Amino acid sequence: MVKLNIVEKALVNNPFRALAQRHFETPRLMALGGPCPGACALEIGGGQGEGARLIREQFGAAQVFSLDLDFEMVRRARRRLGDTPGVLCLQGDCTALPLADQSVDALFDFGVVHHVPQWQDAIDELDRVARPGATLYAMEVYRSLICHPVWKRVLTHPQENRFDQAEFVAAWEARGWTLLGEKHLGSGLGWLAMQKGRP
Ligand SMILES: C[S@@+](CC[C@H](N)C(=O)[O-])C[C@H]1O[C@@H](n2cnc3c(N)ncnc32)[C@H](O)[C@@H]1O
């Protein structure tokens, strides 16, 4: 299991990360993919739980399964979210999801797939649980940042088999998904929305 190192844990477990997710990332993802009212949503790598809150409040999902590999993160998310209705925080691996085929309307990836050594396995799993017409909302971090000489000393990410935004989009397209829209910040960071099947 590849856990976040102490620096990255500090970067994602704080009120500023929550504010960035709310005021910077959510508006971008919303502009690209629109809301998902009444959806059954899955968030992978839910971290401290802010994503799940936003998926309910801002995107309008009825039910959110927020899954994280690291049980410490799950505990933190549960503590922060209390008994927010419609949110279930679970420990689990996004390459082996505890969900039935075609059971989810919306997938959320706030900076998680780049942590998975065999990231293509995660995409296979996410594709498996997504219903036809489901929307993917993703913020991802790419090879140029992950493998940068400075960042690879500070953060702990797999260094092999990384991807850029075009390769990430192509991997979804190869599984029958269509790009709804994308944005990026340099070559290291990007947002995108995709739909399963043809819109
Ligand atoms: C960079 S943090 C992002 C946390 C949160 N999504 C955010 O935006 O603040 C990546 C998260 O993914 C989790 N993670 C890493 N590999 C995972 C996997 N294979 N399945 C599920 N979660 C995973 C980590 O434990 C961590 O909480």
Q: Is residue 131 part of a domain?
A: yes
Q: What angle do CA 177, 118, 16 make, to 5 degrees?
A: 80
pLDDT at 166 over 90: yes
What total number of domains does the chain contain?
A: 1
Question: Is residue 45 helix, strand or coil?
Answer: coil
Beta strand ranges found along the chain (DSSP E): 40-44, 63-68, 87-91, 104-110, 130-141, 177-185, 189-196
Atom of ligand 1 nearest to the CA of 141: 1
pLDDT level of residue 70 (50, 70, 90 thresholds): very high
Nearest CA to ligand 1 atom 24: 45
d(CA 181, CA 184): 11
Q: Quote the ligand 1 centre to 179 CA distance (angstroms).
A: 23
Rounded to an integer, the average pLDDT of 169-188 is 96
What confidence score (pLDDT) does residue 49 get? 97
CATH of the domain at 37: 3.40.50.150
| Nearest residue to 139 (alpha-carbon basis) of 24, 61, 2 | 24
Atom of ligand 1 nearest to the CA of 73: 27
Atom of ligand 1 nearest to the CA of 139: 8
Give the range of the structural domain holding residue 47, as residue numbers without chain letter: 6-196
The pLDDT tens digits for 31-66 are 999 999 999 999 999 999 999 999 999 999 999 999
CB neighbourhood size of 129 (10 A): 20
* Packing angle, helices 50-57 and 71-81, rounded to 10: 50
Lining ligand 1 with CB less than 6 A are 4, 8, 12, 17, 21, 44-47, 51, 67-70, 73, 93-95, 110-112, 115-116
Q: Residue 146 belongs to what H/E stretch? A: helix 143-146
pLDDT level of residue 121 (50, 70, 90 thresholds): very high
Q: Which residues contact 151 (CB under 8 A, 6 or more apart)?
A: 145
Q: Quote the ligand 1 centre to 112 CA distance (angstroms).
A: 5
Q: What angle do CA 81, 139, 161 make, to 5 degrees?
A: 120
Q: Is residue 102 part of a domain?
A: yes
What confidence score (pLDDT) does residue 180 get? 98
d(CA 160, CA 144): 12
Q: Is residue 1 part of a domain?
A: no
What confidence score (pLDDT) does residue 182 get? 98
Q: Is residue 34 part of a domain?
A: yes
What confidence score (pLDDT) does residue 79 get? 95
Q: Quote the ligand 1 centre to 38 CA distance (angstroms).
A: 25
